[in-house]
Every structure is written in structure tokens, then in C-alpha cells.
Amino acid sequence: MQAGRSTGLLSPSLQSNDGGFGFQGPNDQSFTGAKAGAYRADLSVGLGDFFEGRDGRFTFYTQHLDAGYSSPGEATIKGHRAIRRHVQDARDEQLESRSQGRSENREPGLETRAVELDVAYKLAEKWTVSTGVRNDLRKDNSPVVPLTQIQGERTDAGSRR
């Protein structure tokens, strides 16, 4: 687990409304002396430690940055939350599954989510059949959504041998 606190912005943030031809600082300068906190928790567990005969791993992290938090590599004017998890499980020598998911939410703006599940079955030494499905969501909750912002949800499935 990690926790941090900052006072003021580490460096000024610049933004571009014209695709990178011009840059300007944010209109809201109230975060120049802001006190903000952050935390992050990581967990990684071998499935074999809890389930006999299981060869796999579960990893998870969650992170929260308050609006105005600033540190090297992590600076935000808006609040930011992120959650990610990954599970890989080899049930035996033939069957393996993998699932992963992530979600991020920037207040009051962009919300993204991706969830994926893959399963592979080994038919012979050199033959494996696998299939998977993934769902993505991208939604902007900003008061003014830019015209270039692509929003929506999609689900993809695939297989291979």
C-alpha cells in the first residue's frame, strides 16, 4: 500500500484544443496551492497457495488521486480513480483461462471500462483451440463533450486454433 499528499502543482499542465497546434494552461488556477492526497493498493496472489493443484495468479490494484494531486508521473487537476485486476488460471495441462478487467473514472469527465475473458484448450502437443470475448465502454460525463470524443460500447469475440 502507498499513500501520498501534495501541496501545489509539480509543474503547470498544458492542454490543446486544436490537436496540438497551440497549448494553453488550464482556466482553473485554483489548484496551484491545492492540498491533495492519493493512495494505491496492490495485491498479487498465487492461486496454488490457496487451491491445491492450481497453477495461476490473481493480481489487483486500485488507485485514487484527489483533484489537484501532483507528483512525478502522477498529476491531475480532476479527481481520478482506477481499478485493475487480472486472473490467470491453468486448471490442468489442457485447460487454461484468463480474465482481466480495468475501469477508470476521471471526475467529472471520462469513464472507461474493459472486461475480457479468454479460454484455451490444448487438444494435442501442437494443437490448441482458444476463444475469447471483450467488452469496452467509453463514456464522457463532462459538462461539455468535445466533438472529437468517441463514446460508446462494443463487444468483440474471437477464436483461433
pLDDT digit string, tens, across residues 39-78: 999 999 988 888 777 778 889 999 988 887 877 777 777 7
Residue 161 near residue 122, CB atoms below 8 Å: no
The count of structural domains within the chain is 1
pLDDT on residue 134:
95
pLDDT on residue 12:
59
Distance CA 122, CA 135 (A): 25
For residue 6, being part of any structural domain is answered with: no
- Give the burial class of 9: count Cβ atoms within 10 A of its Cβ; 0-12 exposed, 13-18 middle, 19 or more buried: buried
pLDDT on residue 13:
62
Virtual CA dihedral for 65, 66, 72, 74, nearest 10 degrees? 40
Distance CA 29, CA 9 (A): 10
For residue 149, being part of any structural domain is answered with: yes
Identity (one letter) of the amino acid at 127? W
For residue 21, being part of any structural domain is answered with: no
pLDDT on residue 55:
79
For residue 138, being part of any structural domain is answered with: yes
For residue 133, being part of any structural domain is answered with: yes
For residue 36, being part of any structural domain is answered with: no
Q: Which domain holds residue 147?
A: 44-61+78-160
Threshold 0.85, pTM exceeds? no
For residue 101, being part of any structural domain is answered with: yes
pLDDT on residue 16:
74
Distance CA 26, CA 138 (A): 24
Given a cut of 70, the residues of the chain with pLDDT beneath it are: 9-14, 25-33
For residue 24, being part of any structural domain is answered with: no
